[in-house]
């Protein structure tokens, strides 16, 4: 687990707010996510100077400018790669990567999966609004099939990514989902990500009220949550519903299915274990919903320990230096050397 710093001074949200005016569209889900991140860091008593926020391009990528931390607003899609450089160079820092679905799963998809498989010590927050906001409304790699958008007037014919499935397939050691309507849940997930050593991937359902308004309303609206969100709680049977009357079980093929508890009995419910070494069950859970129109799991899908990349790099550096630091003369004279004397 992490070396969580504690400071004697109690921090407040404002300690993590920069002096820049926040410029997302009024009503954008990003405001709530920003607030949750600032409050999480304050609650953790994190040192602002040890937080590094790296982003690519997109609405979400403006995030670092609003945080009173070290920040780098990079180029489209490359945030996970830039962050990898920061994290490998400086394992003492807490490195956050913030981006949207287009940034991280389209142009930067390659970097996202490779950062996850390497288990670089990053906290990756993927703000998924299922649309391109900054470029004003084209469908994204997480938009549902048939999406009508500026670039798909007849509906998109692309099958979307399921980001949780992709992250699990990419060997991520921590995978979670939360949404912008529930600050406490967001804060709990961000805190878990912060404490996890290695790549922590958090998908945040985020409403883009200008280009894709209400995309998640069917599951995140207050009156929908109990019937449409499936809370994942470690060590507990997975159940949900207004009267907790529904649950999740694995069928004979290992597929996760929503069932009425009355039909199958309590004992058949899947007890959630986020620490399973094998990601198969976590993957099955990620397939419960193909989009925010069906009951959707929220919470931590997977949290396992594996040495992180920066740590292993550091280990090799230490081992290589056991015999003392490098000697430049010995290095350049590591081939046959001959001397030519004057005259």
Partner 1 sequence: MSTDTSPRRDIEVLEAVVIRFAGDSGDGMQLTGDRFTDVSAEFGNDLATAPDYPAEIRAPAGTVGGVSAFQVHISDHEILTPGDAPAVLVAMNPAALRANLRDVITGGTLIVNADNFSERDLHKAGYTSNPLDDGSLVGYRVIEIPMTSLTIEASKHTGVKPRDAERSKNFFALGLVFWMYTRPVDPVVSWIEKRFAKNPMVKEANVSAFKAGLNFGETTELFDHPYEIRPAKLPAGRYRNVNGNTALSYGLVAAGQLAKLPIFLGSYPITPASDILHELSKHKNFGVRTLQAEDEIAGIAAAIGASFAGQLGVTTTSGPGVDLKSEAMGLAISLELPLIVIDIQRGGPSTGLPTKTEQSDLLLAMYGRHGEAPLPIVASKTPSDCFETAIEAVRLALKYRTPVILLSDGYIANGAEPWRMPDLDALPDISVPFTTEPNRPDGVFWPFLRDEETLARPWAIPGTPGLMHRIGGIEKEDGTGNISYDTDNHDKMSRLRAAKIANIANDIPGVEHDEDGGTDLLVLGWGSTWGVAREAIRRVRVRGRQVSHAHLRHLNPFPADLGDVLRRYRTVLIPEMNLGQLVKLIRAEYLVDAQSVTKIKGIPFRTYEIEQAIVDALEALDARGA
> In the structure encoding, which two tokens stand for residue 142, read together?
């997480």
- Please tell me whether residue 5 binds partner 1 under the rule CB under 8 A: no
The window from 141-149, 206-214, 295-303, 313-321 that contacts ligand SF4 (CB under 6 A) reads: 206-214
Longest dimension (CA), the chain: 101
Cβ 277 to partner 1, closest distance in Å?
25
- Please tell me whether residue 283 binds ligand SF4 under the rule CB under 6 A: no
Out of 86, 249, 284, 304, name the contact with partner 1 by CB under 8 A: 86
Cβ 102 to ligand SF4, closest distance in Å?
11
Cβ 19 to partner 1, closest distance in Å?
9
Q: Which residues, numbered 119-138, are part of the site for ligand SF4 (CB under 6 A)?
A: 129, 133
- Please tell me whether residue 141 binds partner 1 under the rule CB under 8 A: no
Whichever of 18 and 152 has its CB closer to partner 1, that residue is 18
Cβ 159 to partner 1, closest distance in Å?
24
DSSP string for residues in 158-197:
PPPP-HHHHHHHTT-SEEEEEETT-HHHHHHHHHHHHH-S
- Radius of gyration in angstroms for the set of CA atoms belonging to the chain, rounded to a whole number: 23
| Burial class (CB within 10 angstroms; exposed 0-12, middle 13-18, buried 19+) of 246 | buried
Give the count of alpha carbons within 13 A of 4, CB side only: 14
Out of 63, 96, 201, 211, name the contact with ligand SF4 by CB under 6 A: 211
Which listed option, ligand SF4, partner 1, none, makes contact with residue 316 (CB within 5 to 8 Å by class)? partner 1
CA 83 – CA 87 distance, rounded (Å):
6
Whichever of 48 and 188 has its CB closer to partner 1, that residue is 48
- Please tell me whether residue 75 binds ligand SF4 under the rule CB under 6 A: no
CA angle 299, 131, 82 (to 5 degrees): 70
Cβ 33 to ligand SF4, closest distance in Å?
10
- Please tell me whether residue 89 binds partner 1 under the rule CB under 8 A: yes
User: Burial letters for 36-59: b for 16+ Cβ neighbours within 10 Å, e otherwise?
Assistant: bbbbbbbebebeeeebbbbbbbbb
User: Tokens 């996760």 — which residue?
Assistant: 256
User: Burial letters for 282-316: b for 16+ Cβ neighbours within 10 Å, e otherwise?
Assistant: bbbbbebbebbeebbbbbbbbbbebebbbeebeee
Which residues are at the interface with partner 1 (CB under 8 A)? Answer: 18, 20, 47-50, 52-54, 64-65, 67-75, 78, 81-90, 92-93, 110-111, 114, 313, 316-317, 319-321, 323-326, 328-329, 331-333, 335-342
Which residues are at the interface with ligand SF4 (CB under 6 A)? Answer: 24-25, 28, 30, 59, 129, 133, 208-211
């Amino acid at each position: 687990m992490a070396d969580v710093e504690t400071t004697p001074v109690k921090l407040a949200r404002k300690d993590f707010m920069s002096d820049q005016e926040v410029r997302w569209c009024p009503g954008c889900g990003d405001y709530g996510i920003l607030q949750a991140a600032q409050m999480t860091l304050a609650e953790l008593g994190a040192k602002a100077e040890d937080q590094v926020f790296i982003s690519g391009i997109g609405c979400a990528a403006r995030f670092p400018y609003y945080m009173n931390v070290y920040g780098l607003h990079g180029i489209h899609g490359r945030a996970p790669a830039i962050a990898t450089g920061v994290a490998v160079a400086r394992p003492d820092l807490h490195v956050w990567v913030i981006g949207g679905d287009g940034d991280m799963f389209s142009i930067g998809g390659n970097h996202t999966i490779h950062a996850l498989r390497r288990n670089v010590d990053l906290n990756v927050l993927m703000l998924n609004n299922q649309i391109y906001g900054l470029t004003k409304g084209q469908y994204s790699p997480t938009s549902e099939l048939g999406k009508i958008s500026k670039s798909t007037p007849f509906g998109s014919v692309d099958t979307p990514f399921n980001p949780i499935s992709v992250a699990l397939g990419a060997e991520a050691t921590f995978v979670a989902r939360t949404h912008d309507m529930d600050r406490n849940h967001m804060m709990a997930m961000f805190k878990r990500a912060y404490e996890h050593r290695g790549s922590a991937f958090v998908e945040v359902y985020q409403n883009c009220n200008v280009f894709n308004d209400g995309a998640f309303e069917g599951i995140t609206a207050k009156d929908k949550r109990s019937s449409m969100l499936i809370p994942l709680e470690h060590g507990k049977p997975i159940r949900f519903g207004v009267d907790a009357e529904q649950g999740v079980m694995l069928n004979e093929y290992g597929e996760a299915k929503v069932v009425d508890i009355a039909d199958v009995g309590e004992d058949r419910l899947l007890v959630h274990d986020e620490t399973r070494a094998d990601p198969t069950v976590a993957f099955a859970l990620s397939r419960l919903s193909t989009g925010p129109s069906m009951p959707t799991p929220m919470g931590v899908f997977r949290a396992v320990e594996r040495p992180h990349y920066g740590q292993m790099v550091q280990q090799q550096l230490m081992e290589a230096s056991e015999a003392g630091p490098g000697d430049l003369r010995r290095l350049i004279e590591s081939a046959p050397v001959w001397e030519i004397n004057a005259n």
